[in-house]
Structures are given as C-alpha cells and as structure tokens.
C-alpha cells in the first residue's frame, strides 16, 4: 500500500491573523480511488502544521521524523521550533536521500517570533517561502483562484474561504482530488486548530460551492 499516491491538492496561505492549511481527502492508485478519507493535513507542533502529497508510506515516515525532531528541539531548548528551521530540517531530510528519493510534495506553515510563514518543499529538498503555495496534482487550478483573489491584508476568515474555494475548484477538474476538504488554522493565540467538517461544509454551502 506504500505505492498508493495521495494524488492531491493542498494549499497554504499566509493571512494577517494566521496561516491556513487545506487539503482534500482522495488517495489513488493510478486511475483507481484507493481511499476516500486519506489524511493529508498534520499538526507537527502547536505552531507548525504540514500538508502532504505523494506516496503514503513516504509521507507517514516524514511526519513521524518531523514530530520527533520538533519535540526534541522543544525539550532541549525549551522553545518552539521556528517555522524556517522546520522547513530547513525537512529539506535536509529530503536532500540526503539521493538514490531513492521520497516521492512527496509538502507545505509547511505556522508562526514564530518573526511572524507567519508558508514554505513549499519539493522532493529534492528545495524549500521556498511565499505568501501562498499549492502542491499536488490539482495545484494549477488552485493557483488560478489564489492569483485572482489573494490580497496582502487578507484576514484569517477570508483565507479559510479562499483555501476552500481553491481546493473546491481543483476537485472539479482534477480526477486525483476529491471526497471532502480538511482545513486547519495556525495562530499565535490558539495554535493549531482543525475546522470541524460541519464548519467546512457550511462555508462551502454559503459560497455556493456545493
């Protein structure tokens, strides 16, 4: 089952109030839909989250690595790991595996004492910080929505709706994306929070996406 690909559409958005991370739920094996409830949104610590795309086995290993290293950092230094440090750590892990690389595309987002951040990280270990990023087979459709609607002073609430709108657009055109949307927010006040399924569906209905 490690050959199962999550196909995937994921997105990360920096807002003035926090970071929004979102994914859909479908995992595929070529043209076969293997799972309809695949987990692609992960809490790494109170201040950091990650979205995943690629081979399920590779992704699950990387999540375990990152959680362990971030916990060790917090215990040894008595502070939360900065988002940039987490992105660099993940980049180094990916870059070390030359001959049999991890088949993944990742987004790391969160907050530290320098503000809110989103990094997109490719399978070769390249890490790029931006105000928004999308990874996965449906990312082109998401970027169309983000380019049209993102703004510098976007609020957290608007960012949540924008992420949902982008994932929804991808689900309508990308066969490897579908079966629902997960949304998480990361703020200095509340840390990592995942929106209830009912809240996501309520927002989709209000935006007439369902």
**What pTM was computed for the model?**
0.91
- Whether 3 is in a domain gets the answer no
Range of 36's domain?
Answer: 9-206
The pLDDT value recorded for residue 2 is 47
The pLDDT value recorded for residue 30 is 64
- Whether 65 is in a domain gets the answer yes
Check pLDDT > 70 for residue 143.
Answer: yes
- Whether 109 is in a domain gets the answer yes
> In this structure, what token pair is assigned to residue 122?
């490719």
- Whether 100 is in a domain gets the answer yes
Report how many domains make up the chain.
1
Which carries the bigger pLDDT value, residue 84 or residue 171? 84
How many other C-beta atoms are found inside a 10 Å radius of the C-beta of residue 79? Answer: 10
Query: What is the domain-level CATH number for residue 100?
Result: 3.60.20.10
Helix (H, G, I), strand (E, B) or coil at 83: helix
- Whether 99 is in a domain gets the answer yes
Beta bridge partner(s), residue 145: none
- Whether 1 is in a domain gets the answer no
Query: Please, which pLDDT band fits residue 164 given cuts at 50, 70 and 90?
Result: very high
Backbone dihedral angles phi then psi of residue 152, each to the nearest 5 degrees: -60, -35
Residues annotated as catalytic (active site), given as ranges: 8
| pLDDT tens-digit series, residues 26-75 | 777 666 676 777 889 999 999 999 999 888 888 899 999 999 999 999 99
* Alpha carbon separation from 128 to 87, 144, 148, 170 (Å, rounded): 9, 19, 21, 22
Which carries the bigger pLDDT value, residue 20 or residue 179? 20
């Amino acid at each position: 089952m490690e050959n199962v690909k999550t196909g995937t559409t994921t997105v990360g958005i920096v807002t003035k109030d926090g970071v929004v991370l979102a994914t859909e739920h479908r995992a595929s094996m070529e043209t076969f839909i293997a799972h309809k409830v695949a987990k692609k949104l992960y809490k790494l610590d109170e201040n950091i989250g990650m979205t995943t795309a690629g081979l399920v086995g590779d992704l699950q290993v990387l999540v375990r690595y990152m959680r362990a290293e971030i916990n060790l950092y917090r215990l040894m230094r008595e502070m939360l790991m900065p988002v940039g440090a987490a992105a660099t750590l993940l980049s180094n892990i990916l870059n070390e595996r030359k001959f049999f690389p991890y088949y993944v595309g990742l987004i790391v987002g969160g907050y530290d004492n320098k503000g809110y951040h989103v990094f997109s990280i490719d399978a070769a270990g390249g890490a790029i910080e931006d105000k928004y990023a999308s990874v996965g087979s449906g990312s082109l459709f998401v970027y169309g929505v983000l380019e049209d609607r993102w703004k510098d002073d976007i609020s957290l609430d608007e960012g949540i709706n924008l992420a949902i709108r982008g994932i929804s657009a991808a689900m309508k055109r990308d066969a490897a994306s579908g079966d629902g949307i997960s949304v998480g927010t990361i703020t200095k006040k509340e840390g990592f929070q995942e929106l209830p399924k009912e809240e996501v569906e309520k927002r989709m209905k209000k935006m007439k996406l369902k």
